[in-house]
Amino acid sequence: ARKFFVGGNWKMNGNKKEINDIVEFLKAGPLDPNVEVVVGCPSIYLTYTKSILPSNVFISAQNTYKVPKGAFTGEISPAMLVDNEIPWVILGHSERRNVFGENDELIAEKVAHALEAGVKVIACIGEKLEEREANKTEEVVFRQTKAIADKIKSWDNVVLAYEPVWAIGTGKTASPQQAQEVHDKLRAWFAKNVSPAVSESLRIIYGGSVTADNAKELAKEKDIDGFLVGGASLKPDFVKIVNAKQ
Ligand code: 13P
């Protein structure tokens, strides 16, 4: 069975005081022990946050570059995460793709390099509104997934986050049926193009305006293995989202 996975993506939010408050509600929980909980924190706060997080919550970076070191001003590498015992990184987030212009090829190289360096990856994919309206959802998410599949040797240390861009930060959550449909198609894609074993074991999580109110219904869908939560991960409601799976 796939262990339910709930990630919080803080994006470019938080300061020491706010992080202290988040850590307090994570400690108070209680967090369902059957759920893997990870928080994605701005790089400058990674070591601070890690030093105060409870042991049942793991930490993630929000980006890394595709090589271990060198003349790449402003970047950090997976090797630097390993050196600081940061086990996870979020890669391919729609904000990296659409605000910072990262393409499928670069994201795939970054995913492959992070895995080779020993960092686990939350890899994000998802279509824009105009792509959905043009009936291109499958084409887009398959293309984004294939780019990664072509460059990595194993999916063991990857969680795939389906985050429709039109649902991110908009309050327009995908309905459980809309999300399940894409997750199901992705699982079929994996069975055909990677292997039945990966199709069965890979966690495919949903992101985009997940709240304490809609998480329970989404969590009932058989191919939704958890969530990647933006705005609501900064608030005590995050605990309810972690515990949404019945
Ligand atoms: P929101 O939950 O704020 O819509 O953000 C989703 C997201 O982008 C998580 O990575």
The pTM of this model reads 0.98
Q: What ipTM is given for this predicted complex?
A: 0.99
Within 10 Å of residue 33's Cβ, how many Cβ atoms? Answer: 9
151-161 tens-digit pLDDT: 999 999 999 99
Question: 96 CB under 6 A from ligand 1?
Answer: no
Q: Nearest residue CA, atom 5 of ligand 1? A: 230
Residue percentage of the chain with pLDDT more than 70: 100
Q: Nearest residue CA, atom 1 of ligand 1? A: 230
What CA–CA distances, in Å, run from 101 to 29, 92, 98, 181, 202? 37, 10, 5, 28, 27
- Mapping DSSP to helix (H, G, I), strand (E, B) and coil, where does residue 191 land? helix
pLDDT at 118: 98
27-53 tens-digit pLDDT: 999 999 999 999 999 999 999 999 999
With a cut of 50, list the residues of the chain below it in pLDDT: none
Question: 98 CB under 6 A from ligand 1?
Answer: no
Q: Where are the alpha helices (DSSP H) in the chain?
A: 16-28, 46-52, 78-83, 94-98, 104-117, 129-133, 137-149, 176-193, 196-201, 215-219, 237-242
Question: 7 CB under 6 A from ligand 1?
Answer: no
pLDDT at 185: 98
| Catalytic positions, written as ranges | 93, 163
Instruction: Say how many CA atoms lie within 13 Å of 235 toward its Cβ.
Output: 10
pLDDT at 7: 98
